Structures are given as C-alpha cells and as structure tokens.
Structure 1
Amino acid sequence: MDDTLKRRLRRTVLIVALLNFGYFFIEVTVALAIGSVSLFADSVDFLEDTAVNLLIFFALSWTLANRARMGKVMAGIILIPALAAAWQAISKFSNPETPDPVALIVTAGGAIVVNLTCSLLLARIRHHGGSMSTAAFLAARNDVVVNVAIIAMGLLTLWVQSGWPDIVLGLVIIVVNVTAAKEVWEAAHEESLAAKVIAGEEL
C-alpha cells in the first residue's frame, strides 16, 4: 500500500471514529436524561464503531502483537457500557417509565445522519483497507437500520404511552453489542496467536 493511500485511509477512519465518539456522548446524555434503554444501548454501538475505526487507524502502523492488545482493550471498552445498559433495563422492569418519545425520535434521527455520513466516507475506502474497513462500512450502514427501528419504537411509545417497547428494543441492541464485543475479543486473540507464531513463540 502506497503512502498516499495509507494517509487517506487513516484520515478517513479517524474522522469516522471522532464522529462516532462525539455522538456517543450526545446519545448517552439524552438516554440518561429521559431514561431510555434503547438509546443507552445504541450509544454503546457508537462506542463500538469508535473502537473499530481507531483499531484500523493504528493497525496501519502498529505491529500485529500491539494490534491484538489494543483489540482486547477495545472489547472491554465496548462491554462495560453494554453491561451498564443491561443493568438499566433490568432495573426498569418493576417500573417501566415511558421515555420522552420526541427526544427519542430526534436523537435517533441525529444518529441516522451521523451513520449515513460515516457510511459514505467508509464506502470510498472499503475495498482498500482490508476486511476491517469493509466491516466498518457494513457496521455503519447496518446501524442506520437500528436507528430507524428506534424511531419506529419512539412512535409506538408515543401511541401506547408505555416504557416496554423501549426496554424490549434496548435488550435486543444490548445482545448485539455484547456479541460484537465478543467478536472483537476473538479477532484480537487470533491476532495475538498469529503474532506469537511469527515471533516463533510457543502457543
């Protein structure tokens, strides 16, 4: 890979990482303010995308062993707020308060804008950065579907005036996020084993 393409890849994934990291704080703040499990869980997804794109950024210059270590750290970063979202969902079972549907819909709409922007940026490099850049593009594109689901759930909440739709969708998103953390950890573990093989160490 030539230096010009490498710089372009790194610049793109860094921009995407910063967009995701910035909107993570917006979404988690609104989620906590209105008591929305689904928004809280979706904010974890923004943190996951931040981790993946930062991993791509560093992977272009780091050794395999260092990438593996960073991958495991990223998996932990994703898992911690996902578990916090699960605790929030469980704690609301006894009193499923209705989150503000308007704030829910507006925030999810902002998430769609961010994810569409990231998808367009990543689409330009998806075939140049290996499997991870392709995965990052697909994740951003698929996140739009989740955001549309949150908007639909917000409209349903507005109609039924119940907190249960938010809790159910939140639990679904949490399961997806925990699965993603597991996949990041497994990928990092495989890279760690590969680094040991290259170094001639015993597994």
Structure 2
Amino acid sequence: MSGQETADAGRVRSLRTTVLTVALLNLAYMVVEIAVALSIRSVALVADSVDFFEDFAVNLLIFVALGWSLARRARVGKVMAGIIVLPAIAALVMAVVKIGDPEPPAAGALLWTAVGAILVNLVCVGLLSRFRADGGSLTAAAWLAARNDLIAGVVLIALAGATALTASGWADIIVGVLLVVLNGSAAKEVWEAATEEELAAKALAGEFDDD
C-alpha cells in the first residue's frame, strides 16, 4: 500500500469515527429534547427534535455508506427517510391537540434546552467542518444541517423569551408548526439522496452489463 493509499485509508477511518460520534450526539440530545418537551408540553421542542433525528439518520447513513454498496445505501436511506417522518407527525398532532388548551411551556426549561441544542450543534459543526469535502453530498448535507440547526436553536431561545413575556402557549404552537413545515423537507432530502444513490447503482450495473 502506497503512502497516499495509507493516508486515504486513515482519512476514511477518521471520517467514520467523526460521523458516528455526531450521529450519537444527535440521538442523545433528541432523547433529551423529547423528554423535556413532553414534561413541559412544548410543541416547538418536539418539532426541533426532528432536526436532531434527521442529523442522526444522515450521519449514520454516511457511516454505513462508507462500507456498503450504492444499492444498499439507497435502501437504508429510504428507510431512514420514512422513520424521520414519524416525529414530525407526532409534533403536528401535538400542535393540533394543544390548540384546544394553549398552556405555555415552562420558559426556563425551554431556554436551557435551547442553549443545550446550540452547544451540541456547535460541537457537531466543528467535528464535521474538517470533512465537508469528503464522503460526497451526504457529508456536505450533514454539515449544512448541523449549521442550520444553530438557527433553530436561536429561534427557540427567542421563543422562551416570548413565552415568558406573554405567558401564552400560542407562540410555542406557532413556532412548533413552522419548524414542522421547515423540517418537512428533511425526509424528502434524505429520500432524494437515497434515490441518487439508487440511480448511480443502476448506472454502474448498466455499465457492467455493457462490457
């Protein structure tokens, strides 16, 4: 094995370790957000947990994809896309139910959970920044998703302030629905990435048949 091949193999191992770390961080904080959301009845936090689940799914898919064939990546990606839809639907149902009783969530718990979300995403952005050009479009998408999640964290902090000032649950419902709408593209993006992998696999199979 040449020096370049050794370096490339080391780079792949480092990328696999990084995306798995990012995936587990997102999964862990998704659990935290859902637990807090259910305890304070926050639609926005449930909706934001969709982002964390999306990032978990995408980074896990990258980890798996580095060792699997294109066709297998595509199948896993489409399964992930289907799973991502579930928490988004749960957040939407919660929003509809809460309209009948718009009790405000605890602003303090909402604030500190949002701060935690920002810190987790900052760590993920830092970890992924070294590999933005590695692993293709999925790795770039993972970095962009983590970066964009920082914006959602800022929105949640603003929501905590609005909730404290208004003592109303309507801000939580509205922000929650907006996040569901914004995050609705998450499953679509993962599905499209998987479809690209599927088409690439078919193209390679066609090239092989032509030979």
CA positional deviation for 1:197: 2.8
Q: 1:190 to 1:125 in 2, by over 3 A?
A: closer
Q: Displacement of 1:194 after TM fit?
A: 2.5
Q: Distance in 1 between matches of 2:195 and 2:182?
A: 20
Give the Å deviation of 1:198: 2.1
* From 7, 11, 25, the counterpart of 2:31: 25
Q: Please tell me the residue identity of whatever aligns with 1:149.
A: V
User: Secondary structure of the residue that 1:98 maps to in structure 2?
Assistant: coil
The residue that corresponds to 2:114 in the other structure is 108
Please identify, of 180-189 and 80-89, the stretch whose mean Cα deviation from structure 2 is larger: 180-189
**Normalising by structure 2, what TM-score?**
0.92
2:181 corresponds in structure 1 to 175
Pick the aligned partner of 1:125 from 131, 155, 161: 131
Instruction: For 2:44 and 2:140, locate their aligned partners in 1 and report how far apart those are by CA, in whole Å.
Output: 26
Query: Residue 36 of structure 1 aligns to which amino acid in structure 2?
Result: S
Assess, with a 3 A threshold, how the Cα gap between structure 1 residues 149 and 135 changes in structure 2: closer, same or farther. same
Q: Which of the numbers 27, 37, 58 marks the counterpart of 1:52? A: 58
Of the structure 1 ranges 7-16 and 190-199, higher mean CA displacement relative to structure 2 is found in: 190-199
Residue 88 of structure 1: aligned partner:
94
Letter in 1 for 2:11: L
The farther-off stretch of 185-194 and 36-45 is: 185-194
Structural RMSD (CA)? 1.3
TM-score (norm 1): 0.95
SS of residue matched to 2:131? coil
TM superposition shift of 1:130: 2.1
Unaligned runs of 5+ in 2: 1-6
Contact kept? 1:28, 1:43, Cα under 8 Å = yes
Indicate conservation of the 8 Å contact 2:81/2:191, yes or no: yes
- Do the aligned residues in 2 keep the contact of 1:79 with 1:177 (CA within 8 Å)? no
Q: Determine the C-alpha separation between the residues in 2 that align with 1:43 and 1:128.
A: 26
Output the CA distance in 1 between the equivalents of 2:17 and 2:92. 34
The AA in structure 2 aligned to 1:56 is: I
Question: Are 1:11 and 2:17 an aligned pair?
Answer: yes
Aligned residues: 201
The answer to whether the 8 Å contact 2:138/2:193 transfers is: no
Q: Pick the structure with greater CA Rg.
A: 2
Q: Which residue of 2 aligns with 1:35?
A: 41
Q: How does 1:156-195 map to 2 (within 5 A)?
A: 156-195=162-201
Q: Which runs of 5+ in 1 are unaligned?
A: none
Residues in 2 aligned to 1:186 and 1:86: alpha-carbon distance in whole angstroms = 23
Runs (4+) of structure 1 exceeding 4 A deviation are none
The residue that corresponds to 2:3 in the other structure is: none
CA distance in 2, matches of 1:87, 1:99: 17
Report the alpha carbon displacement of residue 36 of structure 1 after superposing the two structures with TM.
0.1
Q: Distance in 2 between matches of 1:188 and 1:133?
A: 13
Please tell me whether the aligned partners of residues 37 and 170 of structure 1 are also in contact (alpha carbons under 8 angstroms): yes
